[in-house]
């Protein structure tokens, strides 16, 4: 009998997981549900799923593997609904949320039903969203955090990884509270800081419009993460409230120390502050996917000549290399301009770099 998979939530993550499961387990049948009927129909037409269901509770009763590819709060509500129906014995249920404590705690309500909830968090994403952005390579070499409880049998953890092996991700097990603390530091706090910087700059720009023009360069780049979904980040902050309050207190202390050394013109402390930061930053892994979505950017020096942009994009199109974003960083008369090309993966970036250099373009990427 064919194994049945149910994916609730057919966005970028749900669709990409469906593709990876379908490739690795071609004999299983994948049903999908989404609150937007159009997303379900599109997923079916693109052959990302095999069936559409408009009643996920009925479909869940027949499923061997269920993925909750929804925001955490929605996933918690779905678990509550699932706990009221008879599920298939040994069914494995997982989620993809950015916080784990609350949902793992809720998932315990399923343990006395002969099913197993194992929290999950694939640390991968894209600048694009929706089912049409689904990509079988989205999770390749990315960390995929799973958060089983002490009561979860090892055999079920292995089964979950076998279901997901087509992602080609690097699996890592963490306690739910460890996950929330670590991702709070390296993902959630940076989003808060970036958003605060953008708003502070916006207030200054209201009085001095030139600020917005100046912010179009490097400042815009270092605050790119502030463009993420407001609804998603509202939920993440509320779900990880206690961790973030502690982290913000530590951040406030660090900023007070920075202010103190500037007020006192402590040259040695200021130098050490930047030297330590440089050393730590330079020691971070290069070319690996982490909690923050990576920006696979390639910079191309281009002459001030009509048609140069179409030449670059044409070269890449001929090699079937997709560009997710393109931006002119600098282009002035009589000097070389710079194009920043963004790619879906590091592999696409390296291929583009090789192809463009073969056409005599000078390129570079920054870690």
d(CA 131, CA 45): 11
pLDDT tens-digit series, residues 188-229: 999 999 999 999 999 998 889 888 878 876 787 788 888 888
Task: Judge if 16 and 110 occupy the same domain.
Answer: yes
Task: Judge if 130 and 46 occupy the same domain.
Answer: yes
Task: Judge if 111 and 22 occupy the same domain.
Answer: yes
Cβ burial, residue 154 (10 Å; 0-12/13-18/19+): exposed
- Does 291 map to a domain? no
CATH number, domain containing residue 204: 1.10.3660.10
When pLDDT is averaged across residues 31-50 and rounded to a whole number, the result is: 94
- Does 114 map to a domain? yes
Q: Which of 8-22, 104-118, 216-230, 261-275 has the lowest mean pLDDT?
A: 216-230
CATH number, domain containing residue 81: 3.40.50.720
Task: Judge if 41 and 77 occupy the same domain.
Answer: yes
Domain stops at, among 282, 305, 338: 282
Residue of 39 and 216 predicted with greater confidence: 39
- Does 66 map to a domain? yes
Task: Judge if 150 and 264 occupy the same domain.
Answer: no
> Is the Cβ–Cβ distance between 93 and 66 less than 8 Å?
yes
Residue of 346 and 286 predicted with greater confidence: 346
Task: Judge if 29 and 142 occupy the same domain.
Answer: yes
pTM score, two decimals? 0.76
Q: Does residue 19 have a pLDDT over 70?
A: yes
- Domain residues for the domain of 236 are 179-282
Residue of 294 and 129 predicted with greater confidence: 129
| Structure-token pair, residue 272 | 């050490």
When pLDDT is averaged across residues 103-122 and rounded to a whole number, the result is: 91
Task: Judge if 128 and 212 occupy the same domain.
Answer: no
Number of domains in the chain: 3
Domain stops at, among 282, 306, 327: 282
Task: Judge if 162 and 17 occupy the same domain.
Answer: yes
* Predicted local distance difference test score (pLDDT) of residue 334: 44
Task: Judge if 339 and 202 occupy the same domain.
Answer: no
Q: Does residue 288 have a pLDDT over 60?
A: no
Q: In which element (H, E) is residue 352 found?
A: helix 346-358
When pLDDT is averaged across residues 126-150 and rounded to a whole number, the result is: 86
Domain stops at, among 145, 174, 203: 174
Closest Cα to residue 85, out of 49, 110, 105?
Answer: 110
- Does 289 map to a domain? no
Cβ-Cβ contacts under 8 Å for 142 (sequence gap 6 or more): 122, 123, 124, 167, 169, 170, 289
Task: Judge if 140 and 193 occupy the same domain.
Answer: no
pLDDT tens-digit series, residues 318-350: 988 888 778 777 544 444 578 888 887 778 888
Q: Does residue 90 have a pLDDT over 90?
A: yes
Task: Judge if 277 and 301 occupy the same domain.
Answer: no
Task: Judge if 189 and 302 occupy the same domain.
Answer: no
CATH number, domain containing residue 309: 3.30.2130.10
DSSP, res 337: E
């Amino acid at each position: 009998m064919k194994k049945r998979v149910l994916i609730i939530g057919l966005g970028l993550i749900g669709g990409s997981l469906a593709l990876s499961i379908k490739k690795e387990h071609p004999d299983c049948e994948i049903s999908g549900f989404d609150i937007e009927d159009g997303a379900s129909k599109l997923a079916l037409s693109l052959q990302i799923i095999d069936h559409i269901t408009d009643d996920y509770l009925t479909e869940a009763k027949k499923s061997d593997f269920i993925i909750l590819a929804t925001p955490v709060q929605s996933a918690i509500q779905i678990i509550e609904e699932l706990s009221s129906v008879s599920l298939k014995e040994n069914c494995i249920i997982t989620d993809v949320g950015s916080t784990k404590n609350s949902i793992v705690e809720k998932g315990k309500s399923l343990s006395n039903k002969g099913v197993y909830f194992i929290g999950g968090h694939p640390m991968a994403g894209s600048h694009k969203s929706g089912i049409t952005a689904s990509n079988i390579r989205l999770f390749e070499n990315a960390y995929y955090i799973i958060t089983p409880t002490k009561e979860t049998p090892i055999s079920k953890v292995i089964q979950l990884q076998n279901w997901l092996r087509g992602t080609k991700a690097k699996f890592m097990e963490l306690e739910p509270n460890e996950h929330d603390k670590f991702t709070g530091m390296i993902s959630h706090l940076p989003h808060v800081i970036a958003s605060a910087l953008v708003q502070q700059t916006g207030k200054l720009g209201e009085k001095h419009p030139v600020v917005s023009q100046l912010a179009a360069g490097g400042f815009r780049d270092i605050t790119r993460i502030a463009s993420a979904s407001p609804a998603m980040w509202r939920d993440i902050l509320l779900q990880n409230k206690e961790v973030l309050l502690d982290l913000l207190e530590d951040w406030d202390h660090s900023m007070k120390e920075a202010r103190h050394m500037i007020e006192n013109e402590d040259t040695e402390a200021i130098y050490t502050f930047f030297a330590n930061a440089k050393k730590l930053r330079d020691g971070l892994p290069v070319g690996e996917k982490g909690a923050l979505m990576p920006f696979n950017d390639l910079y191309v020096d281009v002459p001030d000549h009509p048609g140069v942009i179409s030449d670059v994009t044409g070269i890449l199109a001929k090699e079937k290399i997709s560009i997710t974003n393109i931006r002119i960083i600098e282009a002035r008369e009589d000097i070389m301009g710079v194009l920043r090309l963004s790619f879906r993966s590091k592999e696409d970036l390296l291929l583009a770099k090789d192809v463009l250099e073969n056409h005599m373009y000078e390129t570079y990427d920054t870690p």
